[in-house]
Amino acid sequence: MKNICLFGDSLVWGSADYEKGGWGTLLRNNLEEYDRAYVVYNLGISSETTETLLDHFANELHTRKPILTIFGIGINDGCEDQLIGDHRVDPETFMTNLRDLTREAKEVSDAVLFVGLTRVEESQTIPLPWRENLSYRNSHIQLYDEMIAQHCAENDCVYVSLSQVVEESDLVDGLHPNTQGHQKMFEVIKREVLSLLVELEQKELKEEE
């Protein structure tokens, strides 16, 4: 079997897509239909940051030994938390965490892919009605998204931009995409993942020759 692991936050898990379970579920169904040798594990956790992911990432990674590790993380790192008066994870620590996650993933996986960050509807996210100490701003999301793209360029990871994919009308609560939004994300992510898997398959064939 060829395992693929998805790590990240509620957008990876599929929160608010009550019909199809989010882009992670759509990807799992698509890949397992594409080739039954692929097994996709969705390990997304609501409110996950790079900091909290590092606490449990290694054990899950080494247990499943994925050929491809996919990260969808960063939007919670960059949000403002009034309880600390700053980002939940500051930019310098965020970049360090990205490097640590990538280094660990590359010890096991043949490839690492980062899903970029979607934008929010700020009138509903400054602050969040259900967590009033937190605020999500598009300027901060863009900053952290750019850091993810930079990290990928410098560390031989695939970066999938989603900055223009999800529209305000695709958001349930200003933050989480609805079924239509997750479908749009899936279509973009699927193309990149399938292209990457074809490359890995071709590399494997050459090594066997």
pLDDT for position 116: 98
What length does the chain have?
A: 209
Average pLDDT, the chain: 96
Task: Provide the pLDDT confidence category of residue 134 given band limits of 50, 70 and 90.
Answer: very high
* Secondary structure (H, E, C), 127-150: CECCECCEECCHHHHHHHHHHHHH
Q: Between β-strands 2-8 and 68-72, what pairing exists: parallel, antiparallel or unpaired?
A: parallel
Name every residue whose Cβ is closer than 8 Å to that of residue 114 and which is 6 or more positions away in sequence.
70, 71, 72, 98, 148, 151, 152, 157, 158, 159, 160
Tell me: cis bond preceding 127? Omega within 30 of 0 counts. yes
Q: Where are the domains of the chain?
A: 2-208
Checking phi first, is residue 174 left (phi over 0); if not, alpha (psi -120 to 50) or beta? left
pLDDT for position 110: 97
Percent of the chain with pLDDT over 90: 93
Q: Six-digit token pair at 157?
A: 């990871």
> What is the mean pLDDT of the segment spanning 119-140?
97
Q: Six-digit token pair at 31?
A: 């890949």
> What is the mean pLDDT of the segment spanning 144-156?
98
Whether the full predicted model's pTM is greater than 0.85, yes or no, is yes
Fold of 2-208: Rossmann fold (3.40.50)
Name every residue whose Cβ is closer than 8 Å to that of residue 6 and which is 6 or more positions away in sequence.
12, 24, 27, 40, 41, 42, 43, 44, 70, 72
> What is the mean pLDDT of the segment spanning 1-26?
97
pLDDT tens-digit map of 56-71: 999 999 999 999 999 9
pLDDT tens-digit map of 89-109: 999 999 999 999 999 999 999
pLDDT for position 209: 65
